[in-house]
Amino acid sequence: MSDRANRVLWTLVALVLVIGGGGGLAFSFGALGPSAAHADVITSHLVRQWHRGGTISFAVASAIGLVLVVAGLSLAAAELARDTGRSRLEDFTVTGRSAAGTPPADGARGFTLVRASCLGRALETDLARIDGVQGALVRLFGKPGRLDLRARLDVADDASLSSLATLARACLDRLEATSGLRPRAVDMTVTLVASNRPRVG
């Protein structure tokens, strides 16, 4: 789950606690009248309602329990999910056919299976070859037609960032030339690291 979603979740939990606790204090100190302050936490009226409800009471309680189970498991799964729940690019095939399904004029046939992980690694290697880049991590999300790319680059703190931008773009051009994929959204995060390049004195 994203940081923003977690903040919203915990803000809601905090509001529930504040409202619940504040309401409890209002009851306790008689702000809602002396009869409310001397009422039991679970009133006999509530108990009567439960008994009167019979099967429906049990059904409602079971439904609330089930909702809690589903909500709790969904929340736990979302917290454990990688990549904030986004689906990574899966392996895909490239065929010689056109979009209309007709084979190309030169008669090329067959298909090529492209491993998504290989594409990611190839781009990592390409990015890591840029002068000043000391490490690269690439994640490809979505589907071939709607590809999102997220990369993290460890860049020497004495490297030229403008040059880096230009060369990274060239890497994306090469990715497109090789695979035919052009990411629609590219998100690059640079981590500045101490340069390990030898200095020439």
Partner 1 sequence: MVRTLNRLLGLALGLALAGAGGIAVAEVILAAVGHPFVLVPASRYLHALRTTQWSSRPATVASLVAAVLGLVLLAGEVWRRPPRRVPLTGLEGDGRRPDGPVSGEPDVAGADSQQRATSDASTEDIDWWLLRRSVETHLRRRLVASTPATRARVRLMAGRRRWRARVRVNAPAAARGDVERAARESLERLGARRDRLRVKVGKLRLRAVLRAG
Binding to partner 1, residues 127-146 (CB under 8 A): 131
Shortest CB 60 distance to partner 1, Å: 9
Site string for partner 1, 3-42 (x = CB under 8 A): x--xx-xxx-xxxxxxxxxxxxx-xxxx-----xxxxxxx
| 48, 49, 61, 117: residue in contact with partner 1 (rule CB under 8 A) | 61
CA 51/CA 54 separation, integer angstroms: 5
147-186: contacts with partner 1 (CB under 8 A): 157, 160-163, 165-170, 172-173, 182-186
What is the 8-class DSSP label of residue 80?
H
Structure tokens at 32: 């809602």
Distance of CA 69 to the CA centre of its chain: 22
Alpha-helical segments (H) within 158-199:
161-179
| 45, 49, 58, 86: residue in contact with partner 1 (rule CB under 8 A) | 58
Cβ burial 91-119 (10 Å sphere, 16+ → b, else e): ebeeeeeeeeeeeeeeeeeeeeebebeeb
Beta-strand pair 92-95/111-114? antiparallel
- Tell me: does residue 111 bind partner 1 (CB under 8 A): no
Residues touching partner 1, count (CB under 8 A): 81
Interface stretch with partner 1, choices 77-85, 87-95, 113-121, 133-141 (CB under 8 A):
77-85
Shortest CB 15 distance to partner 1, Å: 7
Structure tokens at 116: 């998504």
Start-to-end CA span in the chain (Å):
49
Nearer to partner 1, 51 or 109 (CB): 51
